Chains A and B, each alone.
Chain A
């Protein structure tokens, strides 16, 4: 369960968002500038809310009244960025195991093989990141986040920088991830099509506030209203 109740002032723009999601995949939908990335950064701990509360399951990650702000490296929340952010000085294999090593998770060959197979990246392991295509980079970034055994996975427009052919290439992996990996996800997108295929619950953001919240059906109403 993900509970979010935050306020953050960013220049003359404010993010003020409250929702509780039980879903396996919580979709964050909104146009660019709606505050999606700021919200995800707050869940990851990269951005500190001015006031409010964030909890995953039973663990409180932010509670400004109680003075709680768990730093990002202690949250164990996997974050897949739109631009992948693979480490250029490491090979694909070293990238995959970075989060696992930093979290002190014991090397587990079976776990590695499962993630590598799920994302179909077995032939990339020895490569340097500069030799990967955009779609490959995103798959490696996903694998890196999964191998740290996160309690929550944040995906900030992971298909945003890809053309539609590449999107179609990755989407099935994300659906498999949802159905097989058992890690709850927050999936950010401005594409209703993506969210209809993936999200079990959807938060629609507008100008930094929650406009609608519900199952994927709300996207149809947003689409017809918009």
Chain B
């Protein structure tokens, strides 16, 4: 029963440690009397007033929509481009300098370009998010495909599995553990770029709200926005892991059985 006990203790730690940290913060900030670090209770009150649910429609949803659309575009493009690059060494060699160059561009440097070319609306924010999220997924897709076992490739050749069948039933599933690893990295990048892009040339969104609050010295509001962003990142990652566990159930099963023998 030591396994169950260990899990129980682990779960307890996972819940208790954050509560302890919050309690410490509350205790410290209650007596601190600092303008920049208002009491936690005040931040939480502001959080409830601001985000439950007054600004959900005006700021949270637009932010999430930008993130979602940008991220989805990135996944679609990265996989669509990654497949031919992964399958053909010639295409890969030709494309790799371009890929390496584009991915080396520091993302915030794209914001001025995006504003000029696409305009200050949602378009440039979605563009910035998508542009940055593409690279981890693209590189992982390529790696996943080039790493397909030679025996597996021989098998598909011998049995005449070609074209769409090969793509859907062999290539993409075989690369999917790696693709998911890239998607997870990109998800946190998407959140970062969402905030950055909303701090420049924006009239709504969580990033905009945090910056506006700071500029108008509404410090508890600013803190409540930061808190919300942290929470969002945590929840997005948790949701992602949930999806990944379902889609890659075979992968965990296969790995567990390989380790067992």
Interaction A to B: no
Interface of B toward A, CB cutoff 8 Å: none
Interface of A toward B, CB cutoff 8 Å: none
